[in-house]
Copies of this chain bind each other. A is one copy, B any other.
Amino acid sequence: MTHESYGAYESHGAYESRGAYESQGAYESHGPGRRAAVRRPASIKDVAAAAGVSATTVSHVLSGNRPVNEQTAARVRSVVNRLGYVPASLARSLQAGSTSVIGLLIPDISNTFFAELAKGAEDAAHDLGYGLILCNTEFDADREDRYLGMIRSRFIDGMVYASGSPPSRRRLEALMGKFPIALADEEVEGLERALIATADHEAGGRLVGEHLRALGHRRALMLTGPRALRSSVARANGFVRAFQGEVVECVGDFKEASGYRLVAERLKEGGSKEGGLDCTAVFAANDLMAFGALTALREAGLSVPQDVSVVGFDDIRAASLAHPPLTTVHQPAYDVGRTATAQLLQYVTRGEVPPASRHTLPVELKVRGSTAPPAR
């Protein structure tokens, strides 16, 4: 399916002539409220026959790939219009050897971080005439497999991979040597030699560490993401190194519930003291977990930032709207998606598998209302 196939023929009047559609619909109407059976859409042969030319000529009238007598062309266009003919993109793609569609695989589309990333990817794809399929995995390995199957079966020309389910690493490894794949936002352990666009996670962690240290905190609870994710490790490393204080690490899974659970459990176990957190600050490896932490703290009667400071990561939309507004690390989600996609397409369009290349995009600390100096 080429770019043109999306709408190039509309200008020939498919939409301009309403009557044509109504009289030649691909479906037969069986009256109001009744189901209608599908009829075979017009093919290039139908057009050729009706116009008294060969299919070859029809093809060239539509593509402009070679000169056609203007009278003939006009006749063909008229028939195209009348029959409501639209070239079958499947047949085109089969012949062309590519679909002009790539995929974007993400774990959770309702996370505005990934939504922004998706916008960047979509813009980059559209700029080059490519379609973009959003593949939402919900962190589910089966779904991920299924979507990866689309590239193995060549339904799509390439894939921007922005997920993070660790078990998929081996599959990715096999795929990356055979198909155009770019990693966005997330490096995958053992796959350093790939096309990668990512935020500077380590710097983000460092900024948070410096911020909390400067406020006077000396003991913090860190809610990390899965160990298998490079970004998790990088955020934690940057934080620990810059904070230079005591850090209690708990492993979460980037979901709000896990942030809630980890903090609630720690509050119940009582740290070392009177049922408190035993930490003056919480750094969650993403905003969602930070929100979970916020909820757990509120339920325990602790107020933020008076009793405990909380910091997130990502700067999703809800972060600035939260109560209190969440101090967090802003990731250039849109740029990550755009960069990764642009990089990928550079190779897809040339029928090449991408070489290793890393783009690290800068992050920014957004200091808001959820952080303050420790109580005492």
Contact = CB atoms under 8 A, between A and B. Distances in A.
Interface of A: 1, 5-7, 10, 15, 18, 21-22, 25-27, 29, 32-38, 41, 84, 86-91, 93-94, 99, 101, 109-110, 112, 115-116, 118-119, 122, 126, 131, 133-134, 136, 138, 143, 145-147, 149-150, 152-155, 170-171, 174, 177-179, 193, 291, 317-318, 321-325, 347, 351-356
Given A1-B153, A109-B115, A291 B321 contact: yes
Contacts of A323: 321-325
6 A-B pairs with the lowest CB-CB distances in the bound complex, closest first? A134-B134, A6-B149, A110-B115, A89-B153, A323-B323, A318-B318
A98 to B, nearest CB: 10
Contacts of A10: 145, 149
Contact of A88 (B118, B153, B170): B153
5 contacts: A25-B178, A27-B178, A32-B193, A32-B356, A34-B355
Question: Which of A41, A115, A134, A152: most chain B Cβ within 10 A?
Answer: A152
A291 B321 CA distance: 9
A154 B353 contact: no
A17 to B, nearest CB: 10
Contacts of A27: 177-179, 353
A146 B6 contact: yes
Contacts of A26: 178-179
Contacts of A1: 150, 153, 155
A33 B318 contact: no
Given A32-B193, A149-B6, A154 B89 contact: yes
B32 A149 contact: no
A200 to B, nearest CB: 22
A351 B94 CA distance: 23
B133 A134 contact: yes
A113 to B, nearest CB: 9
Given A323-B324, A352-B38, A152 B318 contact: no
A219 B88 CA distance: 56
Contact of A170 (B15, B153, B155, B356): B15
A174 B177 CA distance: 44
A213 B243 CA distance: 53
Contact of A149 (B7, B18, B174): B7
A254 to B, nearest CB: 15
Nearest to A32: B193
A122 B149 contact: no
Contacts of A118: 109-110, 136
Contacts of A133: 133-134
A35 B318 contact: no
A145 B15 CA distance: 11
Given A15-B170, A88-B154, A94-B94, A177 B25 contact: yes
Given A90-B93, A118-B136, A119-B138, 11 more contacts: A5-B153, A18-B170, A21-B177, A25-B178, A26-B179, A33-B356, A35-B354, A41-B154, A89-B155, A110-B116, A318-B321
